[in-house]
Structure 1
């Protein structure tokens, strides 16, 4: 007889959170009826249920259901039921509703994890030789930090040659990665948001010419729990979310991209429609820190590999528009490079510095890259081992402070840096 636990392939996972609803995700091993039950940790006798959903093979046996009977600021425990049978886990399954703080208190303290480049080995289809993925215990270390949410910065799975040209290949690769045992406790009690880069979009260095890009979008949306996608209605995964007084702008650096070596016409990584949306959204924001998440490095001056310096005209245009609109508090977050480092660019003393945190890699092969051609790098922040970041924002509403900390696979702190929101304002607005 099949045990109830055997009905689950991966998850459950907690997706986005708002004040009124949160997304719950799970993948079954075969077609099955799924629902979640949840309750306020302070009032466990009053239980709520999501709708029921029957998973389908063509949709990866994935269920995405909304818990919409929640109240601001409350923390909830939940259970997942498959074919009416409760799935037991030996780790917490929890989520939270965001806090209603506006007009009442200072915004709450926020802790979130960042990371990119997660390679899970599959010997049958991997390249011969030394395995490329390792040290999966890093996810246990992230889980122990107990972040409010995790923002995955691309290459969250690595599609292989056998996956690129079929929908079945996409479903297999995403399923294989999501099923990693070490990942399950982190999925179950931390909210998750994501963008992509080339390896979870398609082949290495892939771009807008990729024939399967709409399939890539479909499967990405199936396996992640962002509150929105394709906000510019042009395809792809561009999106946005807010946590407390912080805003996150999730960019798509693949769907509209010109090939890296195509110089025959106008070149773009993001495209004008996405950039126009970004600048307009940034200009509308009152957040003290405006986090722009993008798959590849933005600030680095190294015109190599796949960073935005290869698309210099577009990068300069974005910086120009940020400055023209006097948008304050911008922080770039990205991955891709298989090492971590912080870049800082300040064109003159009339403008505040733009920071770019590159955080890579989680489990894929790490490199001790010195970024010799990046004039904006902060040398002391370069890390060439598997690592992740925990970003903390705290303090009163008008004096928020961002503290970045980078940890190795065992959770040992490698470096820390604090950035005051007031230092990311234009001179006339600073104290």
Structure 2
């Protein structure tokens, strides 16, 4: 089973034909494509948070136009269509959102009006062609290898229920935590947690929410977990820390610049699972950047140099 994962594509960062990353991903022949947030950018420096002031009608039109432009980008359009043709237990396209495709930079759900949240959810579901049965966009899918079910990927929503950061502030919300607990109880195989907001790989992640982060750690205590995320316009591989057995793997910057005009990105990751091992390769614009192998029996890893 091979999963390609990436995040952060701002079609305004250059001509659509420059998005070569999708052709590179297609060459890997993945079974799944996971898009982990910031599929579009409602705002970008130096115009951060401008959508906060827009009318609902203008917000809807701007978001629709941005999705339409990205979804019609050569390479991405072909890859998305090809992966959608495989949709089901053996493959397909799945994902979640982060701040820039939810509303605006660093937006928490408590800051965004109910109408704008509804518009975001409607358009995300339409273009991604998924239909989560709950508020927000959290859901899970079964994962298969060689025709056999091997586990599940759980997609979390770190925006819809969130409040502004603080030790006792809410990130996931009670309903989503109960969903996550149930999903973990039901699964004894491979578990991939997927979210737009990283945990330890940035100062703007889950650790700003002390209580919810502690609750997550309690739920996954001594569970073999691979956490996939984006957001930071960099690739990163973080081994388990503390009392968890969770690897955090970030691939961010499919088509975006690190800063306003410089630092062009072409980042993506490949998770290649066999019963014996899980290979995780992170690619940047120059080629293979990191390669780590997780032994599925011991859940220990080795970096390949």
| Short-chain TM bin | 0.7 to 0.9
Match of 1:175 among 68, 74, 86: 68
CA distance in 2, matches of 1:220, 1:424: 35
SS at match of 1:140: helix
CA distance in 2, matches of 1:365, 1:330: 30
SS at match of 1:345: coil
Matches within 5 A, 1:47-196: 110-121=1-12, 135-160=18-43, 161=50, 165=56, 166-190=59-83, 191-196=92-97
1:359 paired to 2:262: no
**Which residue does the alignment assign to 1:201?**
102
Deviations 1:351-402 (A, max 9, x none): x6321001111111137xxxxxxxxxxxxxxx9943101110013xxxx411
CA distance in 2, matches of 1:363, 1:144: 17
The structure where helix makes up a greater share of residues is 2
CA distance in 2, matches of 1:384, 1:344: 27
CA distance in 2, matches of 1:385, 1:177: 16
The structure with the largest alpha-carbon Rg is 1
**Which residue does the alignment assign to 2:215?**
317
SS at match of 2:140: strand
TM-score by length of 2: 0.81
**Contact 2:251 2:267 survives alignment (8 Å):** yes
**Contact 2:168 2:210 survives alignment (8 Å):** no
Match of 2:184 among 274, 277, 282: 282
**Contact 1:331 1:356 survives alignment (8 Å):** yes
CA distance in 2, matches of 1:424, 1:317: 22
CA distance in 2, matches of 1:389, 1:321: 26
Q: Unaligned stretches of 5+ in structure 1?
A: 1-109, 123-130, 368-382, 426-431
1:243 paired to 2:126: no
**Contact 1:393 1:401 survives alignment (8 Å):** yes
CA distance in 2, matches of 1:361, 1:218: 25
Q: CA deviation at 1:213?
A: 0.5
TM-score by length of 1: 0.58
Deviations 1:276-312 (A, max 9, x none): 210221121022x200001111134x5x3x2111112
CA distance in 2, matches of 1:258, 1:142: 35
1:394 paired to 2:274: yes
Greater relative contact order (Cα 8 A, min sep 6): structure 1 or 2? 2
1:340 paired to 2:215: no
